[in-house]
Structure 1
């Protein structure tokens, strides 16, 4: 049997060059089918092209966890639902491979080659390995090391995003684009206008990937300005609408609703003219109208970007 040619220690030996080992792919596939654990396997530079590691007839795939697959040749490999958590796939060749439902959490994916790979339903990390390590370095005070890791994370996110876009998986590609831009921001000088602007774009729209952020910001600004109008007062004809402690609760509540209405028409720049600002309400209305026109344009751009993918 193919797997019998390789002792248990062979799979864990870091000193053995597995590049030219004949029958290695068949032996690994046989080992997987045996049901014995495959943890920490050292497969650096291994030629595993076309290997079949699919657990046929079962929902759960095989496990190949914490493996070193640096520069491994997995071209055209069948890896459906394979559990690769914690493995190093750095610069591995996974072109044309089937990674459908594979678990890649905790993997080092720097420089991975994924041209033509099947990537639907892959289980990804919310934060890639380099990002987590970079944040740990940042907390420990190692800014230089953190910046280098953030750069690697940005490159990895970009690489994954491009391949996901090619595969038509735009939702996941959008998430990786957002993380890519966050990594770029974290490499900027900490107290710089450029970094502040990048943070604001992220806050308001998630770098164009989160239209809900624009909606929530709009609702928040409308509500905040409505409360300010209620405190400083606006006019409905000759009548002043605003907080008046000498009036009963119902009247104040109706005035508050009218102030929210005025905030909506000001934010959207409709300007019906039935309610008008005066005094301190004027600069507030001018600010809200300016921000509102900008925010609505931003929402259209973000929404169209998401819907046209």
Structure 2
């Protein structure tokens, strides 16, 4: 038998290979799914293996009792790399996991109560069913999308709508658990992000052309489900500008004189008209109504729509802003 055949067969998607000695299964003790990790001395052995520079990527730790384990890479900038590792139903109660890299790993149904996950990287990690109580998650790196969210979008693209709906439901559950725990820990910026994602996942489970989904999308665009007051400001500015352009083409009455865009007029005259229309759009949107300009014809309908939308938008901004500030 060649020397290479004595080595562990583990190889992850990034092309990293294990060089530990293989047992009868073809894998080393750490990467063998069939090897029990329930021995009392296993926790200490794992700590020593990590400190000695052993390959931690992809190791199999299902059901392992790792309560209060210390997996912090002390005095080093980078934490231990547990990418692709499997912690399914592992007991990590009170574990020290500061700055640990769990990219593409599985923490499904793991017990993380009281664990320190500050600065941990859990991007593309399965976080379904985790017990988060009293765990520390400041600066937790979750990434822009959860593993289930990415897979759901891929399933939807492949027209597997049943699988996509199931994965979106799982993603909603994970975001909800993270949001609740972030709120409990007082990390409101993080909880605000998670509630946006939670409600987005809920929307994605609705029928594509339903009224509820359309309403949910509009609320998201306007204010990020109450978590993005600056979106309201941006939409308000856009609406004011659009209405100003419409007023320029439909006309306004100023002291008995109709002001409307005329391509044959001088450039300065049309620019002055645009400024006047912008001014009128602002006072209409904010419902000030000075009365120096008056809409005519179609402008009346535009002004009515802008005034109604403006009063609603300003009220919405106040509610969202106060909500953010009081937290």
Matched, 1:14 2:33: yes
Measured against aligned partners, the alpha-carbon deviations of 1:151-183 in whole angstroms (never above 9, x if no partner) come to: 000000000011011111111111111110111
251-260 or 235-244: bigger deviation: 235-244
Matched, 1:266 2:292: no
TM-score calculated relative to the size of structure 1: 0.96
Structure 1: which 5+ runs fail to align? none
User: How far did 1:54 drift?
Assistant: 0.9
Q: SS of 1:254's equivalent?
A: helix
Q: Is the 8 A contact 1:242 1:256 kept in 2?
A: no
State how 1:101-112 maps to structure 2 within 5 Å: 101-112=119-130
Q: Using the alignment, how far apart are the partners of 1:299 and 1:132 within structure 2?
A: 32
TM-score calculated relative to the size of structure 2: 0.91
Matched, 1:246 2:242: no
Q: Match of 1:192?
A: 210
Q: SS of 2:96's equivalent?
A: coil
Matched, 1:175 2:193: yes
Q: CA RMSD in A?
A: 1.4
Q: Using the alignment, how far apart are the partners of 1:46 and 1:137 within structure 2?
A: 32
Q: Match of 2:66?
A: 48
Q: Using the alignment, how far apart are the partners of 2:77 and 2:31 within structure 1?
A: 28
Matched, 1:89 2:107: yes
Q: SS of 1:12's equivalent?
A: coil
Q: Which runs of 4+ in 1 moved over 6 A?
A: none
Q: Using the alignment, how far apart are the partners of 1:300 and 1:23 within structure 2?
A: 58
Q: Match of 1:126?
A: 144
Q: Match of 2:54?
A: 36
Matched, 1:292 2:307: no
User: How far did 1:21 drift?
Assistant: 1.4
Q: Using the alignment, how far apart are the partners of 2:260 and 2:135 within structure 1?
A: 62
Q: Using the alignment, how far apart are the partners of 1:246 and 1:78 within structure 2?
A: 75
Measured against aligned partners, the alpha-carbon deviations of 1:124-165 in whole angstroms (never above 9, x if no partner) come to: 121101111011000000000100000000000000011011
State how 1:156-235 maps to structure 2 within 5 Å: 156-235=174-253
Q: Using the alignment, how far apart are the partners of 2:201 and 2:297 within structure 1?
A: 45
Q: SS of 2:65's equivalent?
A: coil
Measured against aligned partners, the alpha-carbon deviations of 1:255-294 in whole angstroms (never above 9, x if no partner) come to: 1100000000000101011111111110110000011111
Matched, 1:304 2:322: yes
239-248 or 102-111: bigger deviation: 239-248
Q: Match of 2:15?
A: none
Q: Is the 8 A contact 1:96 1:115 kept in 2?
A: yes
| Count of residue pairs the alignment pairs up | 304
